[in-house]
Amino acid sequence: MTETHSIITPAIMYWGTPVVMITTENEDGTANIGLMSSAWWLGHRCILGLLSASQTPINLLRTRTCVLNLASDDMVHYINPITKTTGTPVVPQLKQDLGYEYCSDKFRLSGLTRQASDLVPPPRIAECPVQMEAELTNSMEMMQDLPDRKGALVAIEVKILRTHVRNDLRMAGHANRIDPDRWRPLIMSFQEFYGLAPRKADSSELGTIKEENYRVLTRSDVVKQGGDMDKVKDGEATVVDEE
């Protein structure tokens, strides 16, 4: 059989994930924006992988709150100006070596707009079509098997308290669903920006499962308000008002 694969040791493994703009609160009450793409969701929980010396985990571990703002594929012009900046006044050596500089106001430098959150102190980013207010529930130092690098990276679990989405992304006829044909996230793949293909690759068998059937796992995590989804009847969503 002809060999079709080679052994390599890539310096990074960013295979393609959405760009997340994390807003946190600095010690002086100002807001910081941290750009990252090492994030994944399970239910209403999200795991964030961050360089522990960066301002975002420093703020998040101290205040235990943040907003996860998801960028769309037309927002690169906001992101590039702050990509190689840090909110840490003393720039960590690794970031110095990568060409990062300190920036005290990333909203001003990027041209992004602050938008007040409902449940947490850090602001949302108005231009982002998806904004998730969240609180920290757990954290873990990574690379604990390597004494010279233990704790250089940190994995942080956050709980999503409230999700704000731009109205044009909502699926018609459903109170709590995103239309995947309208959602165009900005994807980071090996340090380059990409969007999704203009159409689905193919039909998904998983897509035949009604999304509301998963709510038995996720519903208790969300801070509710009037009109939130609370019941499922015959596989379809029923909107109810809170007492």
Tell me the longest C-alpha to C-alpha distance in the chain.
Answer: 67
Kindly state whether residue 12 falls inside one of the protein's structural domains. no
Kindly state whether residue 187 falls inside one of the protein's structural domains. yes
Kindly state whether residue 34 falls inside one of the protein's structural domains. yes
Kindly state whether residue 54 falls inside one of the protein's structural domains. yes
Kindly state whether residue 122 falls inside one of the protein's structural domains. yes
Close Cβ partners of 36 (under 8 Å, ≥ 6 residues apart): 19, 20, 22, 48, 49, 50, 56
- The tokens of 130 are what? 């998806």
Query: Is-above-0.75 flag for pTM?
Result: yes
Kindly state whether residue 224 falls inside one of the protein's structural domains. no
Classify residue 213 by its DSSP letter.
G
Domain that holds residue 181: 17-203
Kindly state whether residue 236 falls inside one of the protein's structural domains. no
pLDDT score recorded for residue 211: 82
Query: Could you tell me whether strands 65-70 and 45-51 are parallel, antiparallel, or unpaired per DSSP bridges?
Result: unpaired
Cα distance between residue 103 and residue 51, in whole Å = 17
Q: Which of 32, 62, 66, 29 is nearest to 46 (CA)?
A: 66
Kindly state whether residue 214 falls inside one of the protein's structural domains. no
> Domain total for the chain?
1
CATH of the domain at 112: 2.30.110.10
34-87, pLDDT tens digit by residue? Answer: 999 999 999 899 999 999 999 999 999 999 999 999 999 999 999 999 999 999
159-189, pLDDT tens digit by residue? Answer: 999 999 999 999 999 999 999 999 999 999 9
